Amino acid sequence: MSKISAGKYTQEHYMAQAIKKKTMVKKKKSIREVTRGRVNIYSTFNNTLVNVCDQTGNVIAWSSAGAMGFKGARKSTPYAAQLATKTAVDKAKQLGLKEVQIFISGVGPGREQAIRGLQGTDIAVTGIKDVTPVAHGGCRPKKPRRV
């Protein structure tokens, strides 16, 4: 084999790189076991978002009414929220989820039905907490300008 120089590297260098690429073995993604977790439900007037997290807050599964295929006004219905919750929890059950705490936020129509959808599965609910922020009127406004 003759050495052909193409700028900085020789032909042998590129051949070695090609052989390395073929022999590299990809690591198998490790499936982690998550037995306890948190379900964050965010219900707005237009949609309902459901995140299933582990204890440290890393999202392991999620779903929303829009992701379930609902569009427009049907996206904000309680039924869409229930289906979104069931889908997210079913994804998390494949990782071994057994018990969850529910944190619900927002004022949309899917709040209660999302919790009922979660209780319909065979996952133990250890607590339900409403973390909706409460408005307090904001900061004190500036004094009026005198002209």
Residue ranges per structural domain of the chain = 38-130
Tens digits of per-residue pLDDT, 83-113?
999 999 998 988 888 999 999 999 888 889 9
Contact 123, 93 (CB under 8 A): yes
Q: Which CATH superfamily is domain 38-130 in?
A: Ribosomal protein S11/S14 (3.30.420.80)
Q: Which range among 21-25, 88-92, 126-130 shows the weakest confidence by mean pLDDT? A: 21-25
The candidate with the shortest Cα–Cα distance to 45, out of 103, 131, 106, 112, is: 106
**Interval 37-71: pLDDT, tens:** 999 999 999 999 999 999 998 999 999 999 999 99
